[in-house]
A and B are shown apart, each in its own frame.
Chain A
């Protein structure tokens, strides 16, 4: 018997999850299928709405102000300013661990490269690090963590003119970790507060770290660590370290694997579960059946078998080049499941700019849609009447340059989920 639902969402990243959530909350019977971990594993965990305009103006203080002036192909223009606001309300409601909803104004957050970046929502764990706070900062690096050099980051922040004094110090993480230990190993030790031996005496790791920091701290009232402060008990760890050090403790967002990103992914799956949505991960959607421009079902590959999943409405939230929702070969760029049209030059040397941070067309590769997020073919007609696209599978924006990745995924996911639920009922 075929698996059936009102709405089937393909892809379990920020866009797919938001889309499934909004559809479930509208009362639809929702199922989400996703292949692998999402791009949140790579992302900082900061939730950007818009930090720079497409022509590079910024950092913007108010992201919402700039939305009406975006080019017409931008996904924010497709869904409209009000939807962006509504979608952020949904996000705020389901993620109490996030901060920034008290204002429309962007915050500037330090990241592991030592720069600051504009963002709209940040984990509570990063909040004491905001750069517009004038309290002095001590950054603490870990000797074997090559991704973050606290002294270097401090000097870099200073060069950016931050309104506080900032210093870096490096400590050796107590205990017997390998030099190449994964961030999850650090997090685990802190979560369980394992005992470590320091100069012959056993003590809990959090206490040992606080002691090391206390020998370095001067009169800073904020202390930043790389984002490894636990996975399950991150608030508790921060609080305990903060009390022992006598300062507010924060995490500096890092590159992959990003614990703040993974924590957000976990939280959203939890929220989907609470809203009654169903989900399964680990198997890819490989193919589909359609008749007269109407998708009947998609085929999920499970241990070599192709299992049909049918639904009234489908949401394509498979990500962009990173999430593998968009793929390419020497001949061209394509969307692998439905072969939705992707606008791109035939000459692959037009896909990029010669400068590392130039205007890269590849960064905006993705499907084009009508105003209800339904993908269009090369001549501007609907690919399918019951398919919608959300998140970074969409074209028309460069999230990395604009700092708009999460915001676009949330706004379009929300809108696609709503439309799909309405149509299905």
Chain B
């Protein structure tokens, strides 16, 4: 066996990327492949809660304990991705006192700092809480940006020599004599497609070991080698509001239920969620009642949500795993814990381990455990350092000062750029040219967009998740074309046009669940800007060639004169004199 083994990691969600960082920091040679862009799967479609563990403190104490441990670690190593908002478990009169006490006890047992606050105190913290709530428990919940966190992990893995290929799908496992020896992948890059990494075509990547971190898709990878992985994908809806109605994470203090949490995230608040088993992680129904249910039920905690404007809704699929002998009927009963499935021990298939289940909050711990497992196999004696070494962007917190003067940015934009970039702000924002705003809703400047293009290639959706450009109130109405304008130059016109189209489609997707009131008016405005003014729905560059000579060539017009129709040579016009 080679002294430095080569490990292939499948899946560019939080789990896979956490593994890639950990292994590469231990000096192992890593290739990570992801079929879409980073966070294409569940990681890009989650609620953004940095769990304190409070939610699991009664029913799933192992998960709860892991959450609070990792909550502390991430505040430290990923400070630029975390906003410590604090959280509340709110009891309404109809919720039982018995459960409230259990929650409080559970938190204490798991080491989660928890305190009871009165109605008045709670409403002082969050004035928009309903007037008739009873009381609440405070916990150290927070908000976390999954995109920024995954990108920072990827950057760190790359710094340590990892190869990361996005838009690269595993189409088969290479199996020889009951041992997985590598993966066969298809690169979706190439002219007119995403230009990033290897261009086009298939590739066989041989590896000493394969880690399957494909979450809800894990079963499909298993199928490629004939092993069963019983992932039970369970979908949940999240609805994004146009403003932050609350600045604290608001949980309903009740055993389990849908629509019981509001997470403030950047400029928005996100309502969630549901828990319903689905067959296919890529194709499941998205229904109006689910969105209505979020608004109606959460209005019991925060009444102003009833009439607030929502900007889009999206669904994610939990990669829940249940050991074969449990057999829960209700997906909410399935543990949130994670499982490491060594296929050698389990299925007599060497060379591969799958990791399934878990939470985003515990991604690093999952990475550590599987890295330990892999290192042990190869007799590598290297410490895990991911809990101690800050992620790129979080190294030096002192850079979070006011950049307004230094970068000539208007203050809210300057502040938000710096919050997003953390300690990378200097490096990214110091440019020679002017640095105008590309996305006004989220305050994203040209320098940030250019930095994201450098990192992610021609995929504008990848630029979007890195910068938040096009993710605000107008949902890209005013900035999709600007992002395309930034891409052009580095990439040719055709590549740019296709990336632009993809971005428009993606932006449309989630808005469809918010189409009433102001957001419907916004959608009409966006549609008019893109179709009526820009004619992107009938882009002549996409369609059949136009006979230009059949149209008005403006020849009857003398230019540069607004004096009136009188001095216009008319050839058929009946008026003007």
Given A111-B535, A113-B535: A96 touches B524 (CB 8 Å cut-off): no
Candidate in A158, A330, A401 with the most chain B CB atoms within 10 angstroms: A330
Tally of contact residues, B, Cβ under 8 A:
83
- Given the complex, which residues of B lie within 8 Å of A131, measured CB to CB? 548, 551
Q: Does B388 contact A (CB under 8 A)?
A: no
Complex Cα gap A349–B285 (Å): 12
Contact indicator B524/A44 (Cβ below 8 Å): no
| Cβ contact of A144, chosen from B434, B538, B541, B557, cutoff 8 A | B434
Contact with B along A252-268 (1 / 0, CB 8 A): 01111000000000000
Q: Does A305 contact B (CB under 8 A)?
A: no
Contact indicator B557/A99 (Cβ below 8 Å): yes
Shortest Cβ distance from residue B22 to the other chain A in the assembled complex, whole angstroms: 39
Contact indicator B535/A61 (Cβ below 8 Å): no
Contact indicator A117/B535 (Cβ below 8 Å): yes
Contact indicator B562/A234 (Cβ below 8 Å): yes
Give the residue name and chain of the A residue nearest to B482 (CB): A146
Contact indicator A132/B552 (Cβ below 8 Å): yes
Given A159-B494, A163-B548, A330-B292: A102 touches B571 (CB 8 Å cut-off): yes
- Given the complex, which residues of B lie within 8 Å of A58, measured CB to CB? 538
Segment touching B, from A17-25, A293-301, A321-329, A381-389: A321-329
Given A43-B533, A102-B572, A357-B537: A322 touches B528 (CB 8 Å cut-off): yes
- Given the complex, which residues of A lie within 8 Å of B446, measured CB to CB? 146
Segment touching A, from B114-122, B173-181, B512-520: B512-520
Contact indicator A96/B563 (Cβ below 8 Å): yes
Contact indicator A155/B520 (Cβ below 8 Å): no
- Given the complex, which residues of B lie within 8 Å of A238, measured CB to CB? 560
Give the residue name and chain of the A residue nearest to B552 (CB): A107
Contact indicator A92/B576 (Cβ below 8 Å): yes
Q: Does A289 contact B (CB under 8 A)?
A: no
Q: Does B545 contact A (CB under 8 A)?
A: yes
Complex Cα gap A116–B100 (Å): 63
Contact indicator A115/B541 (Cβ below 8 Å): yes
Complex Cα gap A327–B520 (Å): 9
- Given the complex, which residues of B lie within 8 Å of A56, measured CB to CB? 538
Contact with A along B555-577 (1 / 0, CB 8 A): 11101111111101111111110
Segment touching B, from A122-130, A193-201, A409-417: A122-130
Q: Does B324 contact A (CB under 8 A)?
A: no
Give the residue name and chain of the B residue nearest to A98 (CB): B565
Contact indicator B436/A179 (Cβ below 8 Å): yes
Query: Which residues of chain A from 32 to 90 have any CB-CB distance to chain B below 8 Å in the complex?
Result: 42-44, 48, 52, 56, 58-59, 61, 89
Query: Which residues of chain B from 482 to 520 have any CB-CB distance to chain A below 8 Å in the complex?
Result: 482, 484-486, 488-489, 492-494, 496-497, 504-505, 507-508, 512, 515-517, 520
Shortest Cβ distance from residue A148 to the other chain B in the assembled complex, whole angstroms: 7
Given A103-B573, A111-B535, A322-B528: A356 touches B505 (CB 8 Å cut-off): yes
Query: Which residues of chain A from 328 to 371 have any CB-CB distance to chain B below 8 Å in the complex?
Result: 328-330, 347-349, 351-352, 354-357, 360, 362-363
Complex Cα gap A132–B533 (Å): 19
- Given the complex, which residues of A lie within 8 Å of B505, measured CB to CB? 355-356
Contact indicator B560/A242 (Cβ below 8 Å): yes
Q: Does A184 contact B (CB under 8 A)?
A: no
Given A89-B574, A93-B575, A131-B548: A113 touches B554 (CB 8 Å cut-off): no
Give the residue name and chain of the A residue nearest to B521 (CB): A321
Give the residue name and chain of the A residue nearest to B446 (CB): A146
Query: Which residues of chain B from 331 to 360 have any CB-CB distance to chain A below 8 Å in the complex?
Result: none
Shortest Cβ distance from residue A150 to the other chain B in the assembled complex, whole angstroms: 10
Contact indicator B540/A92 (Cβ below 8 Å): no
Contact indicator B521/A127 (Cβ below 8 Å): no
Contact indicator B520/A362 (Cβ below 8 Å): yes
| Cβ contact of A179, chosen from B408, B541, B573, cutoff 8 A | B408
Q: Does B206 contact A (CB under 8 A)?
A: no
Contact indicator B550/A400 (Cβ below 8 Å): no
Q: Does A422 contact B (CB under 8 A)?
A: no
Contact indicator B535/A105 (Cβ below 8 Å): no
- Given the complex, which residues of B lie within 8 Å of A96, measured CB to CB? 562-566, 576
Q: Does A249 contact B (CB under 8 A)?
A: yes
Complex Cα gap A239–B528 (Å): 32
Query: Which residues of chain B from 521 to 539 have any CB-CB distance to chain A below 8 Å in the complex?
Result: 521, 523-525, 527-539
Give the residue name and chain of the B residue nearest to A154 (CB): B493
Q: Does A31 contact B (CB under 8 A)?
A: no
Shortest Cβ distance from residue B305 to the other chain A in the assembled complex, whole angstroms: 12
Contact indicator A108/B546 (Cβ below 8 Å): yes
Shortest Cβ distance from residue B491 to the other chain A in the assembled complex, whole angstroms: 10
Complex Cα gap A147–B546 (Å): 26
Complex Cα gap A123–B478 (Å): 23
Candidate in A162, A321, A360 with the most chain B CB atoms within 10 angstroms: A321
Q: Does B267 contact A (CB under 8 A)?
A: no
Q: Does B166 contact A (CB under 8 A)?
A: no
Candidate in B435, B436, B482 with the most chain A CB atoms within 10 angstroms: B436
Contact indicator A328/B573 (Cβ below 8 Å): no
Given A145-B436, A238-B560, A322-B524: A401 touches B548 (CB 8 Å cut-off): no
| Cβ contact of B546, chosen from A44, A52, A105, A160, cutoff 8 A | A160
Complex Cα gap A93–B573 (Å): 11
Contact indicator B478/A255 (Cβ below 8 Å): yes
Contact indicator B436/A124 (Cβ below 8 Å): no
- Given the complex, which residues of A lie within 8 Å of B573, measured CB to CB? 92, 101-103
| Cβ contact of B561, chosen from A48, A132, A156, A235, cutoff 8 A | A235
| Cβ contact of B554, chosen from A43, A99, A116, A360, cutoff 8 A | A99
Complex Cα gap A142–B410 (Å): 20
| Cβ contact of B541, chosen from A42, A92, A156, A327, cutoff 8 A | A156
Shortest Cβ distance from residue B481 to the other chain A in the assembled complex, whole angstroms: 5
Q: Does B433 contact A (CB under 8 A)?
A: yes
Contact indicator B436/A144 (Cβ below 8 Å): yes
Complex Cα gap A256–B446 (Å): 19
Contact indicator B535/A97 (Cβ below 8 Å): no
Given A42-B529, A116-B535, A362-B515: A146 touches B541 (CB 8 Å cut-off): no
Q: Does B325 contact A (CB under 8 A)?
A: no
| Cβ contact of A105, chosen from B433, B551, B566, cutoff 8 A | B551
Complex Cα gap A276–B434 (Å): 48
Query: Which residues of chain B from 393 to 450 have any CB-CB distance to chain A below 8 Å in the complex?
Result: 408, 410, 433-438, 446
- Given the complex, which residues of B lie within 8 Å of A156, measured CB to CB? 493, 497, 541
| Cβ contact of B536, chosen from A115, A180, A360, cutoff 8 A | A115
- Given the complex, which residues of B lie within 8 Å of A253, measured CB to CB? 533
| Cβ contact of A256, chosen from B493, B529, B566, cutoff 8 A | B529
Candidate in B292, B408, B478, B553 with the most chain A CB atoms within 10 angstroms: B553
Contact indicator B482/A152 (Cβ below 8 Å): no
Contact indicator B569/A180 (Cβ below 8 Å): no
Q: Does B3 contact A (CB under 8 A)?
A: no
Q: Does A277 contact B (CB under 8 A)?
A: no
Instruction: Known pairs A101-B568, A127-B559, A144-B436; list 17 more (Cβ under 8 Å).
Output: A48-B532, A100-B552, A103-B552, A103-B572, A104-B572, A149-B489, A152-B488, A155-B488, A159-B494, A235-B561, A248-B560, A249-B560, A327-B517, A352-B512, A352-B515, A356-B505, A357-B537
Q: Which 3 residue pairs across A and B have the least CB separation, nearest first?
A: A113-B534, A149-B485, A152-B488
B positions within 8 Å CB-CB of A: 288, 292, 295, 408, 410, 433-438, 446, 478-479, 481-482, 484-486, 488-489, 492-494, 496-497, 504-505, 507-508, 512, 515-517, 520-521, 523-525, 527-541, 545-546, 548-557, 559-566, 568-576
A selection of 22 A-B contacts at a CB cut-off of 8 Å is A59-B546, A106-B552, A111-B535, A113-B533, A116-B535, A116-B546, A125-B562, A145-B436, A163-B548, A163-B549, A179-B408, A179-B434, A235-B562, A329-B517, A348-B516, A351-B515, A352-B523, A356-B507, A356-B530, A362-B520, A362-B524, A363-B527
